[in-house]
Structure 1
Amino acid sequence: MEPFIFKQFNIQQSKGVFRVGTDGVLLGAMANIDNAHNVLEIGTGTGLISLMLAQRNADAQFLGIDINEEAVHLTKINFDHSSFRSRLENMQSDFKDFSTEKRFDLIVSNPPYFEVSDSEKDKVARQNVELNFQQLISKSSQLLSEKGLFSVIIPAEAGNDFVKIANENNLFLIRKINIKGIENSKVKRLILEFSLNESLMEESEFIIEKSPRQYSDQYLELTKEFHVFKNRS
């Protein structure tokens, strides 16, 4: 499988690991990493999100975990071949059993979200198989530093349930980005950012395409430091 080429790093891919996708790119480009020193990514896949965040914050240290042995191997390759390798670490771990004394200023995840599917393709990565929202949220809330942020991208239809579970685990929604695939369409994805400290929520809208196969100005501006192309033909 061909690598995905970014401006400052390349992503090697394989058929057994969930490939580079728009969801990961959006979270890597929009998660608030400004004041983070220690970052945890849950479910690294190829390592894309951590690499994007490492490019955005030159001071942050990263730990990525994944339950999939092939994903861990692939992430290590991508980490080791990047200019950010000294700040990137990854390991194989089931997040439910993950244990550390460290607390993280940012925890990010593009979590599994298809509750039911007949397809075996990307089964662990794309279904709620190994890690459900309750487990993800409750464990993340315990691992956050006092001013840490928990940032995820999920399907819009799962938003209310996700926020409810977060509230039950003392996490407050402070930022919400409503993502549309194309103008005048329904909201497709949500980037949700939570804190242990309650504050006024910031809400915005993001449109990926202005017309079929034509990226929006928003998307082009957001990804200009990452993508090597300017637009779709």
Structure 2
Amino acid sequence: MPNSYFQFKQFRVEQDRCAMKVCTDSCVFGAYVEVQEAQRILDIGTGTGLLSLMVTQRSHASIDAVEINAEAQLQAQENFAASPWAKQLHLHPMSLQEFARCERPKYDVILSNPPFFLSSLKSPDAARNTAKHTGELLFEDILQFAQSHLKDQGKLCLLLPPPEAAHFAKLAKASDLYLSETLQVFTYHGGKCIRHIQTYTFTPMAMPVIKEFYIREEDKVTYTSAFTELLKSYYLIF
């Protein structure tokens, strides 16, 4: 049974009310995305608030976090309030569609670990379904919002499994958002690619940058030096 919380060096993520718990690939995403120069950041589908908290640790930006699930809203708000950056973090308890109806300043970075399983069998757990399956939040909704609310030089960053990442890239191109970089995340050296961290901009790229990132060594136990370096300011074990 997952712990009711995940303790980081500078903050704690309580997660007993959320269907989707803190996971390694989300932590890689939160630590990897470039936010140091950003002034305004949006986290779509914040859940526990993990990504917002991780990027706030290394940014002075004002961060808006949108969440539709009532239990997750409460959890994220508690996690934000208990963190050292409560004044930077702003929870919006609503759907992205509702959020978009209000006048909003444009964002330097929009990030999301969205519902992603387009065709897999659904869980009997309704909250988990909302968190993992495209239903309440569609890829098209994210793209439509980014078209209107991302700055000209801004970045849209997503964490998706490879098949869904390829599907999103096709949709994005049709919406004049272009893939500039993909970080392929592997479980271990010799293992399978489990996630793509994608960065989109309004500038067409003839050849998007493709990088590889390995969580563990071939022994499937030892963390790689790249993983240790990326997460050392977050994980207590480093």
Between the aligned partners of 1:183 and 1:171, the Cα distance in structure 2 is: 32
| Unmatched tracts of structure 2, length 5 or more | none
Counterpart among 195, 207, 213 of residue 214 in structure 2 = 207
- 2:124 is aligned with 1:120: yes
> 1:131-184: CA deviations, max 9, x gaps?
121222222222101111000010012222111111111111111101111111
Residue from 185, 189, 195 that aligns with 1:189: 195
Q: Is residue 2:150 matched to residue 1:144?
A: yes
- Please list, as runs of the form range in 1=range in 2, the aligned pairs for 1:72-151 lying within 5 A after superposition: 72-99=73-100, 100-115=103-118, 116-121=120-125, 122-151=128-157
**Paired residues of 1:117 and 1:127 also in contact (CA < 8 A):** no
Instruction: For residue 15 of structure 1, report the CA deviation from its aligned partner.
Output: 4.5
Give the AA of the match of 2:112.
S
In 2, the alpha carbon distance for the partners of 1:18 and 1:217 equals: 27
Structure 2 residue aligned with 1:23: 25
Kindly report structure 1 stretches of 4+ aligned residues shifted beyond 3 Å: none
Identity of paired residues, percent? 28
- Between stretches 43-52 and 139-148, larger displacement belongs to 139-148
Match among 144, 154, 166 for residue 160 of structure 2: 154
Q: Which amino acid is 1:107 matched to?
A: I
- Does the CA contact (< 8 Å) of 1:17 and 1:46 recur in 2? no
- Give the equivalent residue in structure 2 for 1:44: 46
Partner of 1:171: 177
The alpha-carbon deviation at position 16 of structure 1 amounts to 3.8
2: distance between equivalents of 1:113 and 1:160? 12
Provide the secondary structure at the position in 2 that maps to 1:64: strand
* Ranges in structure 1 where 5+ consecutive residues have no aligned partner: none
User: Contact (CA 8 Å) 2:186, 2:192: kept in 1 or not?
Assistant: yes
State the distance in 2 between where 1:159 and 1:18 align: 19
Q: Is the 8 A contact 1:138 1:166 kept in 2?
A: no
Of the structure 1 ranges 138-147 and 103-112, higher mean CA displacement relative to structure 2 is found in 138-147
SS in structure 2 of the partner of residue 85 of structure 1: coil
Q: Give the letter for the 1:56 counterpart.
A: R
SS in 1 for 2:213: strand
Counterpart-to-counterpart distance in 2, 1:29 and 1:40: 16
TM-score, L = length of structure 1: 0.93
TM-score w.r.t. the length of structure 2 is 0.91
- Does the 8 Å CA contact 2:153/2:202 hold for their aligned counterparts? yes
**CA distance, structure 2, for counterparts of residue 21 and residue 158 of structure 1:** 18
RMSD, matched Cα: 1.4
Paired residues of 1:153 and 1:189 also in contact (CA < 8 A): yes
